[in-house]
């Protein structure tokens, strides 16, 4: 995606006191990210439609809260994002995501490449704060090339969208409800190995945490040289990335 | 129970093999098979050309669908606070003991399963239960429970159970416009036709009618937006999901005033230019389905539905009923539309609003049952007349579903602006400690506030009016509501999915006597977060009862704290849980002394 805006730009809004130009039909998060501003987010990705489920991108628009990925940008908006109050709320929601699953970062091969971890660092999270829920979520290693460690799923739905919108396969879906909500795999057995999932799928590389992993690749890049080891997530937004 | 390929094909043919009928299809299959096996889900998926995971995701979303085996008899006891106050907890224990089954599980011979469900809308005649997601049993007593267990053991079919058990009463205690004398059949439609769509809309505008589903949005504005939206077809949807605990007015309106409701929908169709209407009937009201369908059929024969209504060429409108499957969040209008489209009931991103892109992407107006009733009366008597009832900002009357500690529970209809204390006097409430107005997502008022008034200016309400006298423990009331929200969270967004669960765990901790001042602080913090950060109104309101009760009945919480100042780091006994698991022991000797 280009970070240049054509002459038909509908207008500008203010993000934490800085002017941001937005294009036609863009959400606040889209416009902010494209112009290199960091609004923390997990369930949104520039290639796919927004769902608004993680709520990490929650901002105040003219005093009212809303998810930056779902609120349409409009001229004259005053958007607050990088404030103590909002960052502290984000930290609380990240803590919720951590206690909801089973996250043992030191042993996770996604460590250093994980957006959940990197965002938690950016928000100054130092501990879980809430009691751990310790859910029972089995690992699915049935696929020859890929594996699913559902312990780390934050239900962002990015794999669902990527499989549907980019791969035209619908390998993933969301099941259950309430705290029992979980990821489903589309196959007769419900296991990844019996699905049409392929290592080359777009959905194979979209997971922001360490759920969808390529087998035999873990720790190829040593810890310390990984993506968020080099630079914090907040400094990696140029050009519509992250 | 077997379900043959021929039966499935016949069913799907009736639904035109439309994927958006998935919820209805699953419901009808399950009525025969009791539960939805993977094999059944697979054949539905194959025939509708849907991914199995999608069908599984839908089936797993609704509380009344089962993707694991359940008993031949499925008994669900209503778990609203009013049912509990009427003794549902003891009855549950009795029933489970008699049947030899644990709550929430299936008996080993597969005969019966017993569990709880959120409010069944029978608060004025509880404790209530639902059998096989179909028959409602009201006024449970120990005797009735004993007889019920015997019928289950003897495998007596539901149809042969005493009809008296299934009696649902209206209990209309005070009538005004909507519960009073009804307009003659077709009079509302005739009046609307005579005025024409635009003048009819102007009349609704003049009436200043605001929706009766809770939010109080202007009905005329909603209809105008829908009417102005471009689309191939427009839809009128009646929200009969009535899931808010303590509310049961829509149940009575549908069982005794269905003509007025359907007439209001038909008037809406004329105004917005719709050819099709949908009633979203909550699963708990399944027992009314055949009756409501017979009313629709009669109206077709009377020329009040179908092509050329009352002989007007081009005024074609018909109504279809969709039955929900036990999900409170489906009362939220965009979740309701998702559910009508055969999907999981998660609320949509807005905009676009339903009036622009609703059911099947077409302009749709969603209104509450009581709103449609009001419309019929306004069509007959005029907007001017309606606007003179009530208060300047809240015109007309409002029906209240009164339950809890009072002599005469039931329906009370008052003009908007009525004093809370007046309702308490009329229903025979004594020594009242608190009133929960508008259900768990509404407000909890203490005795100091009984001079406040019902209306959008002061105390808005979706209809519930639950009375608690001084013998009640307001902490337990708040805890029941917390459990309700956790059970009903759709699971889509982080703050609600995890937050409601964390609230329940804190409340349980306080209830066990392990609480500290720190826990109350955390509850405050969760309330603040969920109020602003959730995707829909469910999560936003989930902490309302908590905040109100902590604020107004703080001693009920402080009584439960181990110390007002000290914050226990952890629960010694709980720390041993892993050791207990590992050794397979759970006898008293494997526990440290507990305070519970
Ligand atoms: C979680 C939730 C549950 C709701 N449940 C209902 C309901 O059961 N019935 C209802 O009419 N409105 C319910 N509403 C409100 C509807 O979204 C909608 O505002 C209403 O149906 C509009 O009708 P009205 O304009 O006639 O009031 C609910 C809203 C939320 C957020
Ligand atoms: S597997 Fe990954 S991408 Fe998919 S929902 Fe879970 S966290 Fe998101
Ligand atoms: S607040 Fe979020 S999780 Fe809760 S019901 Fe609404 S969308 Fe679902
Ligand atoms: S990024 Fe906006 S809600 Fe997740």
Q: Å from B517 to nearest chain A CA?
A: 15
Q: Is B333 in the pocket of ligand 1 (CB under 6 A)?
A: yes
Pocket test for ligand 2, best of A151, A208, A211 (most atoms within 8 A of CB): A211
A chain contacts of residue B42, beta-carbon cutoff 8 Å: 188
Question: Cis ω on the peptide bond leading into residue B351 (within 30° of 0)?
Answer: yes
**Phi then psi for B350, rounded to 5 degrees?**
-125, 145
* Among A158, A212, A163, CA closest to A41: A158
pLDDT band at B566 (very low <50, low <70, confident <90, very high): low
pLDDT above 50: residue B78:
yes
Measured by CA distance, the residue closest to atom 6 of ligand 3 is B536
User: Which atom of ligand 1 is the closest one to the Cα of B215?
Assistant: 19
What is the gyration radius of the CA atoms in chain A, in angstroms?
18
Mean pLDDT over residues B113-128, rounded? 97
Residue closest to B409 by CA, chosen among B426, B425, B427? B427
Alpha-carbon gap: A221 to the closest alpha carbon of chain B (Å)? 31
The β-bridge relationship of strands A58-61 and A64-67 is: antiparallel
pLDDT of B225 higher than 80: yes
Q: For residue A207, what are the contacts with CB-CB under 8 A and spacing of at least 6?
A: A158, A159
Please determine, for residue B1, whether its predicted confidence score (pLDDT) is greater than 70.
no
How many angstroms is it from A94 CA to the middle of ligand 3?
Answer: 17
Spatial separation of the C-alpha atoms in residues B223 and B273, rounded to whole Å: 10
CA of B542 to the centre of ligand 4 (A): 21
Atom from ligand 1 closest to the CA of residue B240? 9
pLDDT on residue A224: 87
Q: What is the pLDDT of residues B300-356, one digit of tens each?
A: 999 999 999 999 999 999 999 999 999 999 999 999 999 999 999 999 999 999 999
Which segments within B491-571 are labelled E, that is strand? 515-516, 561-563
Closest partner residue to A52 (CB to CB) among B61, B502, B535 is B535
| pLDDT given for residue A2 in this prediction | 43
A140 touches chain B (CB under 8 A): no
List of chain B residues whose C-beta atoms are within 8 Å of the C-beta of residue A176:
60-61, 491
The C-alpha atoms of residue B443 and residue B59 are separated, in whole angstroms, by 33
Note the ligand closest to the C-alpha atom of A67.
Answer: 4
Angle between helices B38-48 and B52-59 (to 10 degrees): 120
Give the ligand 4 atom nearest the CA of A55.
3
Pocket of ligand 4 (CB under 6 A): A 41-44, 52-57, 67, 69
* Residue pLDDT, tens place only, B166-200: 999 999 999 999 999 999 999 999 999 999 999 99
Minimum-distance ligand 1 atom for the alpha carbon of B217: 25
Pairing of strands B129-131, A146-149: unpaired
Tell me how far the alpha carbon of residue A98 is from its chain's centroid.
Answer: 14
Evaluate if residue B545 carries a pLDDT over 60. Answer: yes
Among B356, B292, B349, B344, which residue's Cα sits nearest to residue B322? B292
pLDDT for residue B593: 65
Highest mean pLDDT among A194-198, B519-523, B563-567: A194-198
Ligand 2 center from residue B447 Cα (angstroms):
49
Q: Which residues of A touch B492 (CB under 8 A)?
A: 53, 181
Q: What is the rounded average pLDDT of the residues B457-476?
A: 97
Mean pLDDT value across chain B = 95
Instruction: For B489, name the nearest residue in chain A, comparing CA atoms only.
Output: A178
pLDDT of residue A7: 47
* Contact status, residue A128 vs residue A99, Cβ threshold 8 Å: yes
Q: Strand order in A11-15's β-sheet?
A: A18-22, A11-15, A78-80, A58-61, A64-67
Q: Does A170 touch chain B (CB under 8 A)?
A: yes
**Cβ–Cβ contact A156 with B under 8 A:** no
Residue-wise pLDDT tens digits, B125-140:
999 999 999 999 999 9
CA distance B361 to chain A (A): 17
Nearest Cα residue to A36 out of A8, A11, A4, A10? A4
With cut-offs at 50, 70 and 90, classify the pLDDT of residue B595.
Answer: very low
Tens-digit pLDDT string for chain A (242 aa):
444 545 456 899 999 999 999 999 999 999 999 999 999 999 999 999 999 999 999 999 999 999 999 999 999 999 999 999 999 999 999 999 999 999 999 889 999 999 999 999 999 999 999 999 999 999 999 999 999 999 999 999 999 999 999 999 999 999 999 999 999 999 999 999 999 999 999 999 999 999 999 999 988 898 889 999 989 999 988 555 55
pLDDT for residue B460 is more than 70: yes
Query: Nearest C-alpha of chain A: how many angstroms from B109?
Result: 26
Q: For residue A199, how far is its CA from the centre of ligand 1 (angstroms)? A: 44
Alpha carbon nearest to ligand 1 atom 10, residue: B213
Residue A1: per-residue pLDDT: 41
A102 touches chain B (CB under 8 A): no
- Interchain proximity A92–B344, CB inside 8 Å: no
Alpha-carbon Rg for chain B, nearest whole angstrom, is 25
Tell me the per-residue pLDDT of B228-277, one tens digit each, with 9 for 90 and over.
999 999 999 999 999 999 999 999 999 999 999 999 999 999 999 999 99
Mean pLDDT along residues B431-449: 97
pTM listed for this prediction: 0.94
pLDDT value of position A9? 63
Cα separation values, B479 from B70, B485, B545, B546, Å: 28, 10, 9, 8
pLDDT at B582: 85
Nearest-by-CA chain A residue for B58: A175
In which band, very low, low, confident or very high, does the pLDDT at B594 lie, cut at 50, 70 and 90? Answer: low
In this complex, the residue of A52, A181, A184 whose CB is nearest that of residue B497 is: A181
Residues of chain B with pLDDT > 90: what percent? 91
Nearest to A178 among B42, B51, B489 (CB): B489
């Amino acid at each position: 995606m280009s970070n240049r805006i054509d002459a038909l730009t509908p207008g500008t809004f203010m993000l934490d006191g800085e002017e941001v130009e937005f294009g036609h039909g863009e959400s606040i998060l889209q416009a902010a990210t494209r112009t290199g501003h960091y609004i923390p987010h997990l369930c949104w990705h520039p290639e796919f439609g927004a769902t608004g489920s993680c709520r990490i991108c929650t901002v105040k628009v003219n005093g009212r809260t809303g998810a930056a990925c779902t609120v349409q940008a409009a001229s004259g908006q005053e958007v607050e994002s990088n404030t103590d109050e909002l960052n502290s709320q984000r930290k609380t929601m990240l803590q919720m995501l951590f206690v909801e699953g089973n996250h043992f970062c030191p042993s996770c091969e996604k460590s250093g490449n994980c957006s959940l971890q990197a965002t938690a660092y950016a928000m100054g999270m130092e501990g879980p704060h809430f009691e751990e829920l310790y859910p029972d979520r089995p690992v699915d290693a049935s696929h020859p090339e890929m594996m699913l460690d559902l312990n780390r799923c934050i239900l962002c739905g990015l794999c669902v969208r990527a499989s549907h919108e980019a791969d035209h396969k619908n390998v993933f879906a969301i099941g259950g409800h309430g705290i029992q909500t979980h990821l489903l795999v589309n196959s007769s057995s419900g296991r990844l190995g019996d699905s049409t999932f392929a290592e080359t799928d777009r959905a194979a590389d979209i997971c922001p945490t360490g759920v969808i992993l390529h087998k035999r690749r873990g720790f190829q890049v040593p810890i310390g040289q990984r993506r968020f080891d080099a630079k914090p997530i907040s400094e990696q937004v140029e050009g519509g990335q992250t | 129970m077997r379900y043959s390929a021929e039966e499935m094909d016949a069913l799907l043919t009736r639904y035109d093999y439309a994927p958006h009928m998935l919820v209805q299809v699953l419901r009808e299959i399950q009525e025969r098979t009791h539960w939805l096996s993977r094999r059944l889900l697979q054949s539905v998926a194959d025939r509708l050309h849907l991914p199995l995971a999608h069908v599984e995701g839908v089936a797993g979303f609704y509380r009344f669908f089962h993707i694991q085996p359940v008993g031949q008899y499925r008994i669900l006891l209503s778990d609203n606070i009013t049912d509990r106050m009427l003794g549902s907890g003891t009855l549950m224990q009795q029933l489970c003991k008699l049947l030899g089954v644990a709550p929430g599980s299936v008996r080993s011979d597969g005969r019966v399963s017993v569990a709880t469900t959120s409010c069944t809308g029978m608060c004025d005649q509880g404790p209530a239960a639902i059998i096989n997601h179909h028959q409602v049993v009201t006024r449970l007593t120990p005797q009735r429970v004993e007889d019920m267990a015997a019928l289950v053991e003897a495998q007596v079919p539901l149809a042969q159970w005493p009809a008296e058990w299934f009696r649902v009463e209206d209990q209309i205690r005070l009538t005004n416009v909507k519960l009073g004398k009804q307009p003659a059949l077709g009079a509302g439609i005739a009046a609307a036709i005579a005025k024409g769509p635009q003048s009819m809309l102007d009349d609704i505008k003049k009436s200043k009618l605001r929706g009766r589903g809770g939010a109080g949005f202007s009905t005329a504005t909603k209809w105008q937006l829908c009417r102005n939206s471009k689309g191939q077809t427009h839809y009128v949807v009646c929200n009969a999901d009535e899931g808010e605990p303590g509310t049961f007015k829509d149940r009575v309106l549908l069982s005794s005033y269905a003509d007025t409701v359907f007439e209001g929908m038909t008037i809406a169709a004329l105004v917005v230019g719709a050819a099709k209407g949908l009633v979203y009937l909550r699963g708990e009201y399944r027992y009314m389905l055949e009756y409501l369908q017979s009313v629709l059929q009669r109206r077709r024969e009377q020329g009040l539905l179908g092509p050329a209504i009352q002989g007007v060429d081009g005024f074609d409108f018909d109504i279809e009923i969709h039955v929900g499957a036990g999900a409170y969040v489906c009362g939220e209008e965009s979740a309701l539309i998702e559910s009508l489209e055969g999907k999981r009931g998660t609320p949509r991103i807005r905009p676009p609003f339903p009036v622009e892109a609703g059911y099947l992407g077409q302009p749709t107006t969603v209104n509450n049952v009581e709103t449609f009733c009001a419309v019929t009366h306004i069509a007959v008597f005029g907007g001017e007349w309606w606007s003179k009832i009530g208060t300047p900002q809240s015109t007309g009357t409002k029906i209240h579903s009164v339950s809890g500690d009072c002599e005469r529970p039931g329906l009370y209809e008052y003009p908007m602006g009525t004093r809370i204390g007046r309702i308490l006097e009329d229903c025979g409430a004594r020594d009242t400690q608190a009133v929960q107005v508008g259900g768990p997502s509404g407000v909890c008022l203490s005795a100091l506030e009984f001079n406040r008034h019902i209306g959008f200016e002061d105390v808005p309400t979706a209809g519930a009016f639950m009375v608690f006298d001084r013998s009640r423990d307001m902490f337990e009331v708040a805890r029941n509501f917390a459990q309700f929200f956790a059970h009903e969270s759709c699971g889509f967004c982080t703050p609600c999915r995890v937050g409601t669960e964390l609230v329940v765990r804190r409340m349980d901790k306080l209830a066990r006597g392990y609480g500290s001042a720190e826990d109350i602080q955390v509850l405050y913090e969760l309330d603040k977060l969920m109020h602003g950060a959730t995707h829909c109104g469910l999560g936003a309101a989930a902490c309302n009862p908590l905040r109100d009760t902590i604020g107004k009945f703080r001693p009920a919480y402080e009584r439960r704290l181990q110390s007002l100042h000290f914050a226990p780091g952890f629960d010694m006994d709980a720390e041993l849980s892993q050791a207990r698991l590992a050794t397979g022991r759970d006898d008293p000797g494997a526990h440290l002394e507990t305070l519970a």
